[in-house]
Amino acid sequence: MAMVERYTPSARWFHWLITGIFLELVLSGLLIFIPWLTSGMVGTWIRLIHRIGAVILVGAPVIFALVSWKRAWYFVREAFMWGKGDIGWLRAAPGYYFGGDPRLMPPQGYINTGMKLYRLAILFGGVVFVITGLILWFFKGVISPEVFQWCVIIHDVTFIVAIGMFFLHFQLAVFHPRMDEGLLSMVDGKVSGVYAKSHHGIWYGKITEKKEDSSATSS
Amino acid sequence: MAKAILYDATKCMACRACQVACKQWNELPAEMTTNRGTYENPPDLSPQTWIKIKFIEMEKEGKLDWLFTRQACMHCTDAACVEVCPTGALSYHELGFVQYERDKCCGCGYCAEFCPFGVPKLESGRITGVGVMDKCTFCIDRVTNGLEPACVKTCPTGALIIGDRNELVAEGRARVEALKADGYSNAYLYGEDELGGLHVLYVLADRPSVYGLLEEPEFPVLASVRENIFRPFAWITWGVVAAGLALNVLVARARQVRGKEES
């Protein structure tokens, strides 16, 4: 079976931009807690770099959405499209990811249930990050100390969860034998037909159907 | 041996020489203020004003009562600012007070947001966040060289004295007892036990709240949650997640799972 396109060049560029900025924010968020490193101007710079990163991390999706609002809207909507296959995924996932029989996993769409959950977490976690971050940035000394303190704590919790989620994403894309085309697909945009069929059966069915349709009409 | 400052509100005449002496010794500029109908000036502590006298006008038994109190860093034994400071700019000095090294401040301002007394003050760029906090240093340069803090040195009425904390607690108690014997039944020694014991003790003729002081200042719960639970908890969480994911990969590899060869 031939290779199929999974990620467009713009999606891949966007992914790696977000990856870079996310890691910059994680690092600057972590380093600020190392006293010998951050004292004085170094700490001031780290805080400034954190803010610049935040502007890019929020700004990039906004620009993406303005340029290509249909894709952005679908990106959000996709996470909310749940069906029978998702229940099946939840049942089969533990066995599947620990190397059980893949036939127990019901066919999945373009993104599977785990990806939907991940995307929901990113969407909601992102909103929490942005709201608390904006308050920490612009409302210091304006808003009541209690609210500020809560924002610090919530920003912390979201940070702790986000790093755990990053580990999961990294593990699946890079190390998990069952996702052995994960990383490469985000580099060159393609997955093999076999991989597409076994991991995203419903999606693979749709794109091959389309191809057959178009080849039928053109001939 | 812990040092402390004893402030006796009943001896204070609000001359504000302490404010001036503090500015002079620490080379802090004056601030432009406007007349707000009170002698109390400036309106609040700021990076340029580390100590000020608060004026309270109130009615007591049909007569005007004019109360004065000192507003500056309390130098807590359990200081929230020290807990949340990420750079170590704030720390506990061996003499008991809260030491501040301005060169180390990164301007995050968490100390200002977590201090129960709202003492640390920060002026920073709204966009860049660049700035430095300032507060009373207990005149560390003077005190560690055998001199009194500037505010204490200048106080003409003896409302401010410095000494070993234990001795000043005893002195404060005696003064409070004397006040009570004089009919000030609510007289109170503030700072003896508050927040683990303050290193600025207040002899008050009435309840702390009458002077605009917190009756029961509390160490902010979220500060201790953050420092004592989240910090270790975060690393444990990430460790557990990483170990679980590694185990998952090992199991899947051992079962010779391959993505491509599935039906």
Per-residue model confidence as pLDDT tens digits over A10-30: 999 999 999 999 999 999 999
Report, in this order, helix, strand and coil percent for chain A, each rounded to 5: 80, 5, 20
Report yes or no: B92 and B101 within 8 Å, Cβ to Cβ.
no
Q: Is the peptide bond before B42 cis (omega within 30 degrees of 0)?
A: yes
Residue B210: predicted pLDDT: 95
Interface membership of B247 toward A (CB under 8 Å): no
Contact B263 A99 (CB under 8 A): no
Interface membership of B105 toward A (CB under 8 Å): yes
ipTM, 2 dp: 0.91
Return the domain boundaries, chain B: 1-218, 220-263
Q: What type of residue is A107?
A: P
The pairing of beta strand B131-134 with beta strand B160-164: unpaired
Alpha helices by DSSP H, B88-210 = 110-114, 140-143, 150-154, 165-181
Q: Residue A102 and residue A93: Cα distance in Å, rounded?
A: 10
Q: Which two tokens stand for residue A129?
A: 């990050």
Return the domain boundaries, chain A: 9-70, 105-210
Q: Residue A22 and residue A25: Cα distance in Å, rounded?
A: 5
Separation in Å, CA of B211 to nearest CA in chain A: 22
Q: What is the mean pLDDT of chain B?
A: 94
Interface membership of A31 toward B (CB under 8 Å): no
State the CATH architecture for B1-218. 2-Layer Sandwich (3.30)
Residue B159: predicted pLDDT: 97
Residue B169: predicted pLDDT: 98
The model's pTM: 0.91
The closest alpha carbon to A176, from B244, B258, B240, B263, belongs to B258
Residue A5: predicted pLDDT: 93
For residue B263, pLDDT beyond 50: no
Separation in Å, CA of A178 to nearest CA in chain B: 4
Q: Tell me, which fold does domain A105-210 have in CATH?
A: Fumarate Reductase Cytochrome B subunit (1.20.950)
Q: Which residues lie below 8 Å from residue A104, measured CB to CB, with a gap of 6+?
A: A92, A95, A96
Q: Which two tokens stand for residue B55?
A: 């004026």
Which stretch of DSSP H or E encloses residue B56?
strand B51-60
What pairs with residue B60 in β-bridges?
B63
Q: Which two tokens stand for residue A207?
A: 């794109």
Best B110, B122, B226, B249 member to test A by mutation, with max A CBs in 10 Å, is B249
Contacts 24+ apart (CB under 8 A), A210-216: none
For residue A1, pLDDT beyond 70: no
- How far is CA A140 from each of CA A86, A102, B62, B102, B222, rounded to the nearest angstrom? 43, 52, 42, 20, 17
Helix (H, G, I), strand (E, B) or coil at A139: coil
Interface membership of A179 toward B (CB under 8 Å): yes
Q: Which two tokens stand for residue B78?
A: 């359990």
